[in-house]
A and B are shown apart, each in its own frame.
Chain A
Amino acid sequence: MTDATAPKGDDTRADAPARNQWWDVWDQFKTHKGAMFGAAFFIIVILAVYLGPYFWTIDPTYIDIRARNSGPTLAHPFGTDQLGRDMLARMMAGGQTSISVGLTAMALALILGTLVGVLAGYFKRIDGLLMRTTDLFLALPLLPLLLVMVMLFRQPLSASFGPETGIFILIVVAIGITSWMPTARIVRGDVLALKEREFVLAARSIGTRPGKMILRHILPNVMSPIMVSATLGIATAIITESALSFLGLGFPPDFPTWGRLLFDATDFMQQHPERVMWPGLAISLTVLSVNYMGDGLRDALDPRIRGL
């Protein structure tokens, strides 16, 4: 897909050669209101969590015990937690971790799942082996697997990448390699059906090689389940991260993340409902905005719609 000279062959509008196909994609994406809205919101969230701390300078781990369990006030617009830590600062710090873990883990799972799914669906000879591997991963009990991973890799990773990056890699890999299987199964199912379709047969009959066939003809047609997996994957990754950290398999306990904040606040739901609301809303709306972006991207990548 990165090959800039390629479009000629299959793009029906090859008479406009100066335009990169990505411009078309972008034009189509722009017309999708939901997608633009989602993208704008997502960018705002990213800016808020990454640039926010420069304007709101309270340390998210600073304990002001006299101000504990405070509701929203001028000094603490989002209130404080049971130890008097500022919720706004914690939401921003937590967002950095949650969004980066969510996006990276989702991307890893998606790439792995799509790769396995496409290969298994397209090449009959490795289908059995790849799908049995998928079955194995589906069957592995998650918690012991994670415990073993942490036991084996925490020390070496911390030593070579520093404690924070080390744990980040560990968590992302742990979530990634335990959540790619549904994507793989779904993509494979679609590919099995696609490769018998007329346009694939046509492409094959003119001698299209497997690599190009997958990139040009198969992948664009399995985009929609992949996009759905991506949106659902981010939510799962954010929640799984909080479960890992809670079990002590993830970030240190004083390291806020959205999932963690939501979990900690659940006990206080009656007394301080705003405390569950902030992380709950942040996770839901981020997932929602990614979902709309995914919708728009899927439409934009679909040559049938784009051509209209």
Chain B
Amino acid sequence: MLTYTIRRLMTAIPTLIFISLIIFLLLDMAPGDPTAQLPLTIPPEVREQIRQSLGLGEPVHIRYLLWLKQMVWSEPMFYLSQSTGWFDPPEVARLISWQTRAPVMDTIFERLPQTIKVVGLAYIVGVLIALPIGIISAYRQYSVFDQAGTFVSMIGFSIPPFFSGVLMIILFTVMMPNDSFFWFPSIYDTTLVVDSWETFGKQVRQMVLPVMVLALQTTAQISRFMRASMLDNLNQDYVRTARAKGMTESVVVLKHVLRNSMIPVITVIALGIPSIFGGAIITEQIFKVNGIGQFLIVSIQASDVPSVQTLTFIFAVLIVLFNLIADILYGILDPRIRYD
């Protein structure tokens, strides 16, 4: 397993470089222009000068190599020198966003906490609710609980966040009286500093609505996979054997069946973790949680190639990493799976 992990980590580097190249070419090919959002009153000559000042005059391979150098060398060196103070930051210019004209990584670090708090919490809440629902639904297949769970999760999954988000705002912000305990803010205040119980309470309150909307989707998806996989295993011979051996029902279900049912669920959960970093584009927009997802969509709309490229690259790193973790977990859950 260890050699497998090391081998996978080694192959990850060329994979990631290849992925970054493909993404760069894709973004270069995509129609759109960094000056598209400027008012039409700005004449074409000025737009051309702006493009030149962004470095768009260079050929594509030069721009790619420059980005790669900045991403894997300048930025880590900058942060290393900042955090340790051992040496001066390298002379090479940092990775600059076309929109803000400021370092991309600074914006990412500024936004990461919101995204991790809101999207991450929603994910944890979603998974924690989904697993028991899935298990009980499968164990008591076609019971009232199962039917209700199926119904709610299917409705939950087929209602897109652009709808459920607005519905939540109307129910809990507009129609709810302002002084009610169930009134929640519709706009996430990123300037809030948590330094007392009162501000902590505010922070919790402003996270309620977006977390609800996001957790609904996660719960629906994961509980379905959990249920299906449990059902597959509940009929297996080994379950009968375990019961015949006189094991208690809870040991049979929670130890044997659950462990064997986790493989597809682990895959889905591992696929979802990188997307926490990717943020939740629509939900973040609706509640104005200025997280990574919102940054990504704004950057895409503004054709801000350095930002999109950097975000997508970090995303790719996480995907490769978590898929590796999932593969290792398969081996732990089911020792028969061998990669070597």
A77 cross-chain contacts in B, Cβ below 8 A:
none
> Taking the complex as formed, is B36 at the interface, i.e. its CB lies under 8 A from any CB of chain A?
no
B142 cross-chain contacts in A, Cβ below 8 A:
34
Q: Are the CB atoms of B268 and A148 closer together than 8 Å? A: no
Q: Which one of A139, A225, A259 lies within 8 Å of B315 (CB-CB)?
A: A139
Q: Are the CB atoms of B159 and A189 closer together than 8 Å? A: no
> Taking the complex as formed, is A270 at the interface, i.e. its CB lies under 8 A from any CB of chain B?
yes
Mostly helix, strand, loop or mixed at chain A's interface? helix
Q: How far is the CA of A295 from the CA of B157 in the complex (A)?
A: 17
With A139-B23, A141-B300, A225-B225 known as contacts, the answer to whether A193 contacts B31 (CB < 8 A) is no
A224 cross-chain contacts in B, Cβ below 8 A:
228-229, 231-232
Most B-side CB within 10 Å, residue of A136, A259, A298, A302? A136
Q: Are the CB atoms of B235 and A196 closer together than 8 Å? A: no
B235 cross-chain contacts in A, Cβ below 8 A:
302, 304-305
B323 cross-chain contacts in A, Cβ below 8 A:
131, 134-135, 185
> Taking the complex as formed, is B170 at the interface, i.e. its CB lies under 8 A from any CB of chain A?
yes
Nearest-Cβ distance from residue B284 to partner chain A, whole angstroms: 15
Q: How far is the CA of A270 from the CA of B151 in the complex (A)?
A: 25
Q: Are the CB atoms of A291 and B154 closer together than 8 Å? A: yes
Q: Are the CB atoms of A280 and B26 closer together than 8 Å? A: no
Nearest-Cβ distance from residue A226 to partner chain B, whole angstroms: 9
Q: How far is the CA of A128 from the CA of B14 in the complex (A)?
A: 13
With A231-B154, A232-B224 known as contacts, the answer to whether A280 contacts B163 (CB < 8 A) is yes
Q: 1/0 per residue A29-52: CB within 8 Å of B?
A: 000001000000000000000000
A134 cross-chain contacts in B, Cβ below 8 A:
323
A263 cross-chain contacts in B, Cβ below 8 A:
162-163
Q: Chain B contact residues (Cβ within 8 angstroms of A): what range? A: 35 or more
Q: Are the CB atoms of A143 and B228 closer together than 8 Å? A: no
Q: Which one of B32, B163, B336, B337 lies within 8 Å of A276 (CB-CB)?
A: B163
The stretch among A61-69, A209-217, A282-290 that forms the contact with chain B is A282-290
Q: Are the CB atoms of A135 and B163 closer together than 8 Å? A: no
Q: How far is the CA of A140 from the CA of B18 in the complex (A)?
A: 12
A227 cross-chain contacts in B, Cβ below 8 A:
228
Closest to A270 in B: B170
> Taking the complex as formed, is A300 at the interface, i.e. its CB lies under 8 A from any CB of chain B?
no
B147 cross-chain contacts in A, Cβ below 8 A:
34
Q: Which one of B23, B155, B158, B263 lies within 8 Å of A193 (CB-CB)?
A: B263
Closest to B31 in A: A151
> Taking the complex as formed, is B136 at the interface, i.e. its CB lies under 8 A from any CB of chain A?
no
| CB neighbors of B among A232-274 (8 A) | 232, 235, 238-239, 242, 259, 262-263, 266, 269-270
Q: Which one of A132, A190, A287 lies within 8 Å of B264 (CB-CB)?
A: A190
> Taking the complex as formed, is A169 at the interface, i.e. its CB lies under 8 A from any CB of chain B?
no
Q: Are the CB atoms of A141 and B308 closer together than 8 Å? A: yes
Q: How far is the CA of A225 from the CA of B29 in the complex (A)?
A: 36
| CB neighbors of B among A147-190 (8 A) | 147-148, 151, 181-182, 185-186, 189-190
Q: How far is the CA of A301 from the CA of B308 in the complex (A)?
A: 45
> Taking the complex as formed, is B167 at the interface, i.e. its CB lies under 8 A from any CB of chain A?
yes
Residues of B that sit less than 8 Å from A by CB: 11, 15, 18-19, 22-23, 26-27, 29-32, 142, 147, 150-151, 154-155, 157-160, 162-163, 166-167, 170, 174, 221, 224-225, 228-229, 231-232, 235, 263-264, 266-268, 271, 274, 296-297, 300, 308, 312, 315-316, 319-320, 323, 326, 330, 334, 336-339
Task: Give 3 closest A-B pairs by Cβ, nearest first.
Answer: A139-B316, A196-B336, A224-B228
Residues of A that sit less than 8 Å from B by CB: 34, 124, 128, 131-132, 134-136, 138-141, 143-145, 147-148, 151, 181-182, 185-186, 189-190, 192-193, 196-197, 221, 224-225, 227-228, 231-232, 235, 238-239, 242, 259, 262-263, 266, 269-270, 276, 280, 283-284, 286-288, 291-292, 298, 302, 304-305
